[in-house]
Amino acid sequence: MCGIWALFGSDDCLSVQCLSAMKIAHRGPDAFRFENVNGYTNCCFGFHRLAVVDPLFGMQPIRVKKYPYLWLCYNGEIYNHKKMQQHFEFEYQTKVDGEIILHLYDKGGIEQTICMLDGVFAFVLLDTANKKVFLGRDTYGVRPLFKAMTEDGFLAVCSEAKGLVTLKHSATPFLKVEPFLPGHYEVLDLKPNGKVASVEMVKYHHCRDVPLHA
């Protein structure tokens, strides 16, 4: 199952904000991690792990040596990750199926990446080299993902709404928490102060259409 949680542009103490992530601890009883983003003191990833594959190197956020600028937190299962790996001759660093997201993104960008995934998933992908944040969810919304974002660029995402409702932000006393749309991905610009600005929300697949990976 696993639980993902991330903040961008927090104006409150991260050690206090991270307490909200513990509200989804039931999603990952085996391990948990909080990790700050290099160069952005107000950005953080949180992950609660249910260890199914690669108990040694399967912790998140997933980062591989080949792409030190990419950070990935995801929940789900990518059914065709081995097929994609063999087709493009990617060299994996872990046995985690979600690693394919990093390789596909580096090869062809976010649109090609998400259209090539056969599976159920929700993810947060950070590209510090190009100052971008990407959110994505599978066609039917099998894997949950919730989002809260303020007008001044504070962004919080989580597998469950309960991990967001107690967050604090000076400009907005009560955060509006909404489910992220199934079958969509969102592109956001990451600013030097750690806050974000939404660039576009894209519906990448309709359930009646033949998927690209087919």
Partners of residue 203 on adjacent β-strands = 184
pLDDT, tens digit (0-9, with 9 covering 90-100), for 39-82: 998 999 999 976 666 566 667 899 999 999 999 999 999 999 99
Domain residue extents for the chain:
3-203
Class of domain 3-203: alpha beta
At 52 the pLDDT is 67
Asked if 73 and 61 touch (Cβ cutoff 8 Å), the reply is yes
Q: Which pLDDT belongs to residue 173? A: 78
Output DSSP code: residue 211.
Answer: P
Q: Which of 29-33, 95-99, 159-163 is the most confident on average? A: 159-163
Residue 188 has pLDDT above 70, yes or no: yes
pLDDT tens profile 85-123:
999 999 999 889 999 999 999 999 999 999 999 999 999
pLDDT of residue 13: 83
Active site residues: 2
Distance separating alpha carbons of residues 94 and 115, to the nearest angstrom: 22
Neighbours of 15 (CB within 10 A): 9
